[in-house]
Structure 1
Amino acid sequence: METKREKFYMMNSMLCLLKVVEGKRTTVEMRDEKEVTGVIKHVDGYMNISMEDVVFKSLTGKKKFDKFFVNGKTIRYVHIPDEINMKSAMEAKLKEMCTYTASMRVRQEIKDQAWAKLKQKERRAKAEIKKERK
């Protein structure tokens, strides 16, 4: 579950493009001249990336990992696969995120209305009981 702050970052930065890369094989270059190549499984609102089937390259050599976590603060560059049209992908992801946010808002409004009706019924029932007692 993403926090409101994470959603804000996703909607107002290039992070929405990284969400499009989820499930694809790509390379993440890190600030300390290291490189991670693998399948991106999850990107959060702080640009932290979870990857699988990873090859980690450093000055000392290569290592393979089943799972790997990259802290967003250490990322220099993320390669976007050639098959992704960045403009249309970002537009689609933003539209999806806006639709989800709007649907959640509508769901909350429906819940609030149902709760208000329930409270109103309880008040009426209590008022009727008071009338009967008099």
Structure 2
Amino acid sequence: MDSRNVTKVEKALLFNTLGCLVKGLENRYTIVDLRNECCVTGKIVKVDGYMNIEMEDVILNDMRQNEKHLESFFVSARNIINIHIPKKTDPIMLLHQQLEKMTRKVEKGKRTFKTARAVRNNIKTLEEAYKK
């Protein structure tokens, strides 16, 4: 995840929606279609859990096909209709990579005496319970 503070709600949204797919498109150029029939082409810089998108190096095409070049652009999630995934990008692999980045990896270390004793006691209790 990011180094910034992310709420539990944002994390849950990233894990349970396709927002993590859009998050996987960070630092890539893509097209975002908006509700007002405009489209924005540019590099996705940041995506949050609510799927708000910050972009840079943007070309904004309005309804009349007029182009406007902008340094940065913010797209609110409620204004997004469609996000184009680049052709060379495999969405399934992108999802797997993003979910792997977001999950916490726990390293198995050496058991402490206290943990080993607790495991032995649990095993002994289970054996006694199943003998009856």
The TM-score range, normalised by the shorter chain, is: 0.7 to 0.9
1:17 counterpart SS class = helix
- The alignment status of 1:46 with 2:50, answered yes or no, reads yes
Q: Structure 2 CA distance, aligned partners of 1:17 and 1:99?
A: 18
Q: Hey, what does 1:71 align to over in structure 2?
A: 76
Q: Structure 2 CA distance, aligned partners of 1:31 and 1:2?
A: 27
Identify unmatched segments of 5+ residues in structure 2: 108-132
Name the count of aligned residue pairs.
Answer: 102
Cα distance per residue 1:3-53 (max 9 Å; x no partner)? 110100000011110011000000000011010000000000111000000
- Determine what percentage of the aligned residue pairs are the same residue: 37
Q: TM-score, normalised by structure 1?
A: 0.72
- Normalized per residue, the structure richer in helix is 1
Q: Structure 2 CA distance, aligned partners of 1:95 and 1:2?
A: 17
The alpha carbon displacement at 1:83 in A equals 1.8
Cα distance per residue 1:45-90 (max 9 Å; x no partner)? 1110000000001024111100000001000000011121111110
Q: Structure 2 CA distance, aligned partners of 1:82 and 1:7?
A: 28
1:4 to 5, 8, 22: 8
1:92 to 62, 87, 97: 97
Identify unmatched segments of 5+ residues in structure 1: 104-134
